[in-house]
Structure 1
Amino acid sequence: MSFKIAIIGAGSVGFTKKLFTDILCVPEFKDIEFALTDVSEHNLAMIKAILDRIVEANNLPTRVTATTDRRKALEGARYIISCVRVGGLEAYADDIRIPLRYGIDQCVGDTICAGGILYGQRNIPVILDFCKDIREVADTNAKFLNYANPMAMNTWAAIEYGKVDTVGLCHGVQHGAEQIAEVLGAKSPRELDYVCSGINHQTWFIDLRLNGRKIDRDELIAAFEAHPVYSQQEKLRIDVLKRFGVYSTESNGHLSEYLPWYRKRPDEITRWIDMSDWIHGETGGYLRYSTETRNWFETEYPQFLEAASKPIDASKRSNEHASHILEALETNRVYRGHFNVRNDGVITNLPRDAIIESPGFVDRFGINMAAGITLPEACAATCMASINVQRMSVHAAISGDIDLLKLAVLHDPLVGAVSTPEEVWQMVDEMVVAQAQWLPQYAHAVPAAKERLSKSTVKTREWAGAARRSVRSIEELRAEKAALKQAV
């Protein structure tokens, strides 16, 4: 087979390398072309060198090109994969820093909450630019695979306004299933069969079967509480399981910021999180992790390049959906996964226009969703709160309506539990002004926002958050990795 895959945001070096090697684990895909594109020539050069080394080491006919000219990369592409972060870590730092001034403590801030909503405002105009290029220069039947957060907002915009065949992809369901299989004592995650449905980062394991035996709520609670690690790392998640009766896919830290109950009081936050790793609830945890990862990669790049000389091991193919979807579409080997698509009645008690994440099957005819799923009422109610925020956020990003943007932030569950309307109005003004270079649709609103900020009487505070850690230096990271290696 010979076709072209374009990767937008290919400068996300580690993730691009994973997608690349996964796809080349499919025997029929050796003779395809990967067209890499990014706004950073520096990052493009690094990832191209790594991928070229993989191709050379495995004696493959695969072609790899790299360009900052996005339209050139998209020309004739059958598949387009996006993993962009508009504004990079600079804008992301404001997503965490500014809400903290108003008492809003986020762990990740990339889905909803104040940070996730502003992230969507930066991404959506760029997503629509991608879609325009795809319609104009890509293959007539091109499929857009979006990995970028905020997943639901980006996918919603691409489908409703970009008019491109789009599916959103995430690995939260797979990771949650691996946890469940482990606590139940399965020898392999493949022993667990499940139906997981909802919206991205708020999907729910509504049916669990281990080797054909149905697992009920009480057995699952007992298994998690008995686990020596997860019982400490997933305290909030286990509490939600007890109250809702079903387990959520998302990590302790992620889930904590989608709900209004666990991060609204600073003195209560540490009760529900665990500081053994960022993902369990640390304030700004993913920002710290991303910053350290970038610094580490820049410093240790020669090691990454050397590692690329190893043969591809198909047995280590990851559970990221992209390679499996492409394999099913191109070879008709059926793949079952969980995909982000427009609802259109798949989940009976969520709106038709919402972007849901739910089970589907892929073959040469496309992605075919399993319809007629009804969520437990508490799960549907929690999803609805986020869907309403997502819908307003998408429409605000399209229209550049700053008042609608403020209403979207006001209706966010955690923001509403912490902040007053006056605080929300000022916080959004502050974020739009700080991120104006990435928010062209709000250019007309920036002067008035600056004027309001100059006259504001709303009090703020400089606050690091309830559980903030400093970014570790390269020397500290090296020492930690050496200690772990010695311990093993």
Structure 2
Amino acid sequence: MSFKIAIIGAGSVGFTKKLFTDILCVPEFKDIEFALTDLSEHNLGMIKAILDRIVEANGLPTRVTATTDRRKAIEGARYIISCVRVGGLEAYADDIRIPLKYGIDQCVGDTICAGGILYGQRNIPVILDFCKDIREVADTNAKFLNYANPMAMNTWAAIEYGKVDTVGLCHGVQHGAEQIAAVLGAKSPRELDYVCSGINHQTWFIDLRLNGRKIDKDELVAAFEAHPVYSQQEKLRIDVLKRFGVYSTESNGHLSEYLPWYRKRPDEITRWIDMSDWIHGETGGYLRYSTETRNWFETEYPQFLEAASKPIDASKRSNEHASHILEALETNRVYRGHFNVKNDGVITNLPRDAIIESPGFVDRFGINMAAGITLPEACAATCMASINVQRMSVHAAISGDIDLLKLAVLHDPLVGAVSTPEEVWQMVDEMVVAQAQWLPQYAHAVPAAKERLSKSTLKTREWAGAARRNVRSIEELRAEKAALKQAV
């Protein structure tokens, strides 16, 4: 087979390498072209050198090109994969820093909450530019695979306004299933069969079967509470499991941001999170992790390049959906996964226009969703709160309506639990002004926002958050990795 895959935001070096090697684990895909594109020539050069080394080491005919001309990369592509972070770590730092001034403590801040909503405002205009290029110069039947957060908002915009064939992809379901399999004592995650449904980062394991035996709430609670690691790292998730009756896919830290109950007071935050790793609830945890990862890669790049000389091991193919979807579409080998698509009645008690994440099957006819799923009422209610915020956020991003943007932020569950309307209005003004270079749709609103800020008497505070850690130096990271290696 010979076709072209364009990867937008290919400067996400580690993730691009994973997608690349996964796809080349499919025997029929050796003779394809990867067109890499990114705003950063520096990052493009690094990832192209790594992928070229993989191709050379494995004696493959695969072609790798790299260009900052996105339209050229998309031209003729059958598949377009996006893993962009518009505004990079600079804008992301504001997504965490500014809400903290108003008492809003986020662990990740890339899905909803104040940070995730502003992230969507930056991404959606760019997503629509991608879609325009796809419609005009990509293969006639091109499929857009979006890995970028905020997943639901980006996918919603691409489908509803971009008018391209789009699927959103995440790995939260797979990771949650691996946890459940581990606490239940399974020898392999493959022993666990499950139905997981909801919206991205708020998907729920509504049916669990281990080797054909149905697992109920009480058994799952007991298994998690008995686990020596997860009982400490996932305290909030376990509490939600007890109250809702089903387990959530999302990590302890992520889940805490989507609910109005666990992160609204500093003493409550420290009660429910775990500081053994960023993902369990640390203030700005993913920002710290991302910053350290970038610094580590820049410094240790020669090691990454050397590692690329190893043969591809198909047995280590990851559970990221992209390669499996492409394999199913191109070879007709059926793949079952969980995909972000427009609901259109798949989940009976969520709105038809919402972007859901739910089970589906892929073959040469496309992605076919398993319809007729009904969520438990509490799960549906929690999802609905986020869907309403997502819908307003998408409409605000398309229209450039700053008042609608403020209403979207006001209706976010955690923001609403912490901040007053007056605080929300000022916070959004401050974030739009700080991120104006990435928010062209709000250019008309920036002067008035600056004027309001200059006259404001509302007090804010400089607060690091309830559980903040400093970014570690390269030397500290080296010492930690050496200690872990010695312990093993």
- TM-score of the two chains, using structure 2 as the length reference: 1.00
**CA deviation after TM superposition for structure 1 residue 22, in Å:** 0.1
**Aligned partners of 2:198, 2:457: CA distance in 1, in Å?**
41
**CA deviation after TM superposition for structure 1 residue 144, in Å:** 0.1
Offset from partner CA, 1:16-67 (integer Å, 9 cap, x none): 0000000000000000000000000000000000000000000000000000
**Aligned partners of 1:204, 1:487: CA distance in 2, in Å?**
36
SS in structure 2 of the partner of residue 109 of structure 1 = coil
**Aligned partners of 2:365, 2:464: CA distance in 1, in Å?**
51
1:111 and 2:111 are equivalent in the alignment: yes
1:22 corresponds to: 22
2:328 corresponds to: 328
SS in structure 2 of the partner of residue 328 of structure 1 = helix
**CA deviation after TM superposition for structure 1 residue 433, in Å:** 0.1
**CA deviation after TM superposition for structure 1 residue 389, in Å:** 0.1
1:353 corresponds to: 353
1:70-469 maps to which residues of 2 (within 5 A)? 70-469=70-469
SS in structure 2 of the partner of residue 7 of structure 1 = strand
**Aligned partners of 1:355, 1:457: CA distance in 2, in Å?**
40
What is the count of residue pairs matched by the alignment? 488
Offset from partner CA, 1:88-113 (integer Å, 9 cap, x none): 00000000000000000000000000
SS in structure 2 of the partner of residue 406 of structure 1 = helix
**Aligned partners of 1:263, 1:429: CA distance in 2, in Å?**
23
**Aligned partners of 1:72, 1:233: CA distance in 2, in Å?**
45
SS in structure 2 of the partner of residue 338 of structure 1 = strand
**Aligned partners of 2:176, 2:486: CA distance in 1, in Å?**
30
**Aligned partners of 2:276, 2:383: CA distance in 1, in Å?**
28
**CA deviation after TM superposition for structure 1 residue 268, in Å:** 1.2
**Aligned partners of 1:38, 1:177: CA distance in 2, in Å?**
33
**CA deviation after TM superposition for structure 1 residue 201, in Å:** 0.1
**CA deviation after TM superposition for structure 1 residue 253, in Å:** 0.1
Offset from partner CA, 1:259-300 (integer Å, 9 cap, x none): 000000111110000000000000000000000000000000
Structure 1 unaligned regions, length at least 5: none
**Aligned partners of 1:484, 1:349: CA distance in 2, in Å?**
47
**CA deviation after TM superposition for structure 1 residue 423, in Å:** 0.1
**RMSD over equivalenced CA pairs, Å:** 0.2
**Aligned partners of 2:403, 2:274: CA distance in 1, in Å?**
37
**Aligned partners of 1:458, 1:238: CA distance in 2, in Å?**
38
SS in structure 2 of the partner of residue 424 of structure 1 = helix
SS in structure 1 of the partner of residue 312 of structure 2 = coil
**Aligned partners of 2:401, 2:451: CA distance in 1, in Å?**
17
**CA deviation after TM superposition for structure 1 residue 458, in Å:** 1.2
SS in structure 2 of the partner of residue 35 of structure 1 = strand
SS in structure 2 of the partner of residue 257 of structure 1 = helix
**Aligned partners of 2:423, 2:457: CA distance in 1, in Å?**
10
**Aligned partners of 2:485, 2:184: CA distance in 1, in Å?**
29
Offset from partner CA, 1:280-333 (integer Å, 9 cap, x none): 000000000000000000000000000000000000000000000000000000
**Aligned partners of 1:338, 1:464: CA distance in 2, in Å?**
36
**Aligned partners of 1:110, 1:457: CA distance in 2, in Å?**
29
**CA deviation after TM superposition for structure 1 residue 194, in Å:** 0.3
Offset from partner CA, 1:125-181 (integer Å, 9 cap, x none): 000000000000000000000000000000000000000000000000000000000
Offset from partner CA, 1:426-474 (integer Å, 9 cap, x none): 0000000000000000000000000000011111000000000000000
**CA deviation after TM superposition for structure 1 residue 383, in Å:** 0.1
**Aligned partners of 2:325, 2:267: CA distance in 1, in Å?**
45
**CA deviation after TM superposition for structure 1 residue 84, in Å:** 0.1
**Aligned partners of 2:151, 2:231: CA distance in 1, in Å?**
28
1:39 corresponds to: 39
SS in structure 1 of the partner of residue 358 of structure 2 = strand
**CA deviation after TM superposition for structure 1 residue 481, in Å:** 0.5
- Identity in percent: 98
**Aligned partners of 2:381, 2:148: CA distance in 1, in Å?**
25
SS in structure 2 of the partner of residue 128 of structure 1 = helix
Structure 2 unaligned regions, length at least 5: none
**Aligned partners of 1:174, 1:479: CA distance in 2, in Å?**
31
**Aligned partners of 2:352, 2:216: CA distance in 1, in Å?**
30
**Aligned partners of 1:252, 1:213: CA distance in 2, in Å?**
27
SS in structure 2 of the partner of residue 208 of structure 1 = strand
**Aligned partners of 2:257, 2:70: CA distance in 1, in Å?**
34
**Aligned partners of 1:172, 1:458: CA distance in 2, in Å?**
39
SS in structure 1 of the partner of residue 205 of structure 2 = strand
**CA deviation after TM superposition for structure 1 residue 251, in Å:** 0.0
**CA deviation after TM superposition for structure 1 residue 417, in Å:** 0.1
SS in structure 2 of the partner of residue 50 of structure 1 = helix
